[in-house]
Each structure stands twice: as structure tokens, then as C-alpha cells.
């Protein structure tokens, strides 16, 4: 047996991964799939976009790994789908999995980790499923004179999802969850994920507004995402990705794509205002905003959202109200939601609002013409309420 050489691997990568479309799946917040699909449709060479529950699948070339990780604000991870097959027994799983050209994704002496899920399937035992997959990967690699170790801390993650006896195997090109933008230093309690903040801002058509206000801004997630969107700053510019260690990665191309993304950054005309009742949270927000480089664009103050007023034409109000037990008890959270809704109704006529609350009933149907999207945030049932204040 001759060992696969670097040049032979490059030839295989060129033949099998380049100049053709590959299958992708990007998970996102359930109920916000349409927002991700809209973002995706703005990237080049994407076809066959299909919305699934909690994600979007599509076909695209290999370069989309760079572009999707760099540019998508609402994606959780960018997964390359490597194979999907019926898998009712361990030998079936092994036989199909060893036909995947693992050398293209793992290269020389790489370590990998395996994450498994199984629903309504005969194969249930996670350790056994992972063991069969690891054996299949090594069989393929060993036949080429290569090997790779399974290591639960490895940066290259392989996902195996079993559903109704069908196995779907994917490669996580992102690494850590994409809500990690590499700017936030400190979290206020109950901070919203950046990917959800971006989903809500994009779902609210932020580009149509002159001012954005978050009157319960906490650690400033909405404000920083709004600033990034308005400046057209790619969310992935400052972080690292798992694909940077994969055998098909081309550093010169990556640097070029990042330079092109930097050249698209503009001086935004959007006014961005944040406030919070907690002095401590405003201090956290200030640090995070500075870290993200938006200190000249975002203004902050300590205010009580129940009495706060701001007169601005063409204003978008976003907020993630306290819920659960992390900030206040349920009765207090309900009372706050009611007084805040009253303040919006009385003092913000003509503004558009996008509010997450666990107390949707405070926005009475007679008083608020609004659309309601129910979803689960960190295991808590909440509602996104959106509408124009009349």
C-alpha cells in the first residue's frame, strides 16, 4: 500500500470538492428560518434553498464555506453534508460511512470529535454509534496509509444525526457556535444571543429605519448587532473557524475574502440608542460597545423603560424583556411587561416595535395591531411581538 501524498490529496480535493456544488445545512433559531434564507440568497452561487425546521439546506460550491461563515448573522453553524443513508444496524452504518472520502476533510494525522443524536431509530446507544463511525473513518484512512484519532476536544467536529433509521453525516465547518463574534467581553444576566438579536433586527427590516432604540439593553447585544448591520461589517471578521484547519482551506483566498469584506464597511447613518435601569449593565454595555469599536455610534443612558420617552421619526424599538427567574420574579416581570406596553402605547405613536416577552398578554389585541411569533429561548417559551404603534 502506498501512502497518499500531499499532492495526490490536493488533486483529489480539486477533483471532488472544487468546480461542483456541495450540500449544506445551516441550523438557526426555529421560527427564523426565513430570515436566514433571505441572508443566504444574498450570497453568490446558492441554489435549491429549502427551509426545514430549525435550519436551511442548500447547494453551493466549496467557497461558500468561507462566505457563509464570514457573512451570515443568523446562522448557528455552517455544516457540510457528507452523506445520508439508511442505517438500521451497526454494520450498515460502518459500510456506508467508510465510503465517504474522509481524507478530503481530515487530511493527514488529524484528530476529530463525533457528536451524535438519535431519534426514532434502532441505533440508540451514542457510544456505539460513535465507535462504528470512528472505525469506518479509520478504515478509509488506513487504506490510504493515513490515520486520524478520535478526541472529544478536537476542533474538527463530525455530526451524525439518526432520524427514523436514516443517518445524516455532516462536517462542522464553523467550530464554535457562530453567535460568538469575538467582541463581547462581559454578559449581563439573561443576555440574548447575537444570532437571535440579528434575526430580530433583520426580521424587523432595520434598513428601513433612521433610529434604533433598546430601552432594556443589558450587555448591548441588539445595539452592537444593529451597528454591525448598519456598517455592513461582516460578523465573522474577527473570529476563527474550524475550516481554517481543514485540508481544503486556502489561506490566500481567505485573506482575500476578508479584505473584500473589510472594503464593504461603510460609515452608517443609523442612530443607535440604548438604555437600562441598571447602572452596572450600562457599564457592561459600554465596555462591550468599545470592544466592538462602536463607541462613537451608540449612545447610552440609565433610564427606567416604564417612563422613558424619546421622540424620533422613523424609530424601531427592540427589547428583550426580563423573564424566567434570572432577573426578577414572574409577577414582577409581568408587571414590567404591562407598564412597558402602556408606555409604548401612550408615548411612542408612529414607532415600530419588536419585543420579546414571556407575557404576550400585556400587549392586548385591542390596543396593539401586532404579529406574534412564539418560540423558545433558552428553554423558556416567549413571544416576539411586532407592530406599528398607532
CB 369 to ligand SAM: min, Å: 24
Query: Among residues 112 and 222, whose Cβ is nearest to ligand SAM?
Result: 222
Query: Among residues 191 and 212, whose Cβ is nearest to ligand SAM?
Result: 191
CB 160 to ligand SAM: min, Å: 33
CB 91 to ligand SAM: min, Å: 48
CB 200 to ligand SAM: min, Å: 10
Query: Among residues 87 and 320, whose Cβ is nearest to ligand SAM?
Result: 320
Query: Among residues 140 and 193, whose Cβ is nearest to ligand SAM?
Result: 193
Residue that has been written with the C-alpha cell 414590567 in this structure: 336
CB 363 to ligand SAM: min, Å: 17
Query: Among residues 233 and 276, whose Cβ is nearest to ligand SAM?
Result: 276
Residues that bind ligand SAM (CB under 6 A): 188, 190-192, 215-219, 221-222, 276-278, 281, 304-306, 320, 322, 327, 336
| Residue whose C-beta lies closest to ligand SAM | 218
Rounded Cα distance between 284 and 191, Å, is 11
CB 56 to ligand SAM: min, Å: 24
Query: Among residues 43 and 277, whose Cβ is nearest to ligand SAM?
Result: 277
Query: Among residues 84 and 278, whose Cβ is nearest to ligand SAM?
Result: 278
CB 186 to ligand SAM: min, Å: 10
Whose CA is closest to 299, among 227, 356, 230?
Answer: 227
Amino acid at each position: 500500500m502506498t501512502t497518499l501524498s500531499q499532492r495526490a490529496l490536493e488533486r483529489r480535493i480539486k477533483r471532488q470538492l472544487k468546480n461542483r456544488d456541495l450540500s449544506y445545512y445551516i441550523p438557526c433559531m426555529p421560527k427564523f428560518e426565513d430570515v436566514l434564507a433571505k441572508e443566504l440568497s444574498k450570497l453568490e452561487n446558492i441554489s435549491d434553498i429549502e427551509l426545514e425546521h430549525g435550519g436551511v439546506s442548500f447547494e453551493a460550491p466549496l467557497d461558500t464555506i468561507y462566505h457563509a461563515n464570514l457573512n451570515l448573522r443568523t446562522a448557528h453553524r455552517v455544516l457540510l453534508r457528507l452523506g445520508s443513508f439508511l442505517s438500521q444496524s451497526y454494520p450498515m452504518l460502518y459500510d456506508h460511512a467508510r465510503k465517504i472520502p474522509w481524507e478530503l476533510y481530515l487530511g493527514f494525522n488529524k484528530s476529530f470529535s463525533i457528536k451524535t443524536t438519535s431519534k426514532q431509530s434502532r441505533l440508540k446507544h451514542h457510544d456505539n454509534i460513535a465507535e462504528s463511525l470512528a472505525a469506518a473513518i479509520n478504515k478509509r484512512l488506513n487504506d490510504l496509509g493515513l490515520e486520524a484519532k478520535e478526541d472529544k476536544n478536537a476542533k474538527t467536529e463530525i455530526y451524525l444525526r439518526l432520524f427514523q433509521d436514516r443517518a445524516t453525516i455532516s462536517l462542522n465547518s464553523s467550530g464554535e457556535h457562530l453567535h460568538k463574534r469575538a467582541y463581547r467581553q462581559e454578559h449581563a444576566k439573561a443576555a440574548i444571543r447575537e444570532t437571535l438579536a440579528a434575526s430580530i433586527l433583520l426580521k424587523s427590516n432595520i434598513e428601513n429605519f433612521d433610529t434604533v432604540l433598546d430601552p432594556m439593553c443589558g450587555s448591548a447585544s441588539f445595539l452592537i448587532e444593529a451597528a454591525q448591520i448598519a456598517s455592513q461589517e461582516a460578523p465573522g471578521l474577527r473570529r476563527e473557524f474550524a475550516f481554517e484547519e481543514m485540508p481544503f482551506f486556502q489561506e490566500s483566498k481567505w485573506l482575500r475574502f476578508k479584505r473584500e469584506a473589510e472594503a464593504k464597511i461603510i460609515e452608517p447613518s443609523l442612530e443607535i440608542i440604548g438604555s437600562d435601569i441598571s447602572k452596572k449593565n450600562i457599564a457592561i454595555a459600554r465596555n462591550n460597545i468599545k470592544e466592538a469599536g462602536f463607541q462613537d455610534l451608540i449612545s447610552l443612558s440609565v433610564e427606567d423603560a416604564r417612563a422613558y420617552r424619546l421622540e424620533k421619526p422613523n424609530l424601531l424599538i427592540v427589547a428583550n424583556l426580563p423573564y424566567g427567574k434570572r432577573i426578577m420574579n414572574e409577577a414582577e416581570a409581568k408587571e414590567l411587561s404591562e407598564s412597558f406596553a402602556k408606555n409604548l402605547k401612550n408615548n411612542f405613536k408612529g414607532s415600530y416595535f419588536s419585543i420579546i416577552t414571556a407575557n404576550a398578554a400585556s400587549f392586548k389585541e385591542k390596543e396593539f395591531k401586532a404579529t406574534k411569533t412564539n418560540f423558545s429561548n433558552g428553554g423558556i417559551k416567549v413571544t416576539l411581538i411586532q407592530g406599528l404603534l398607532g
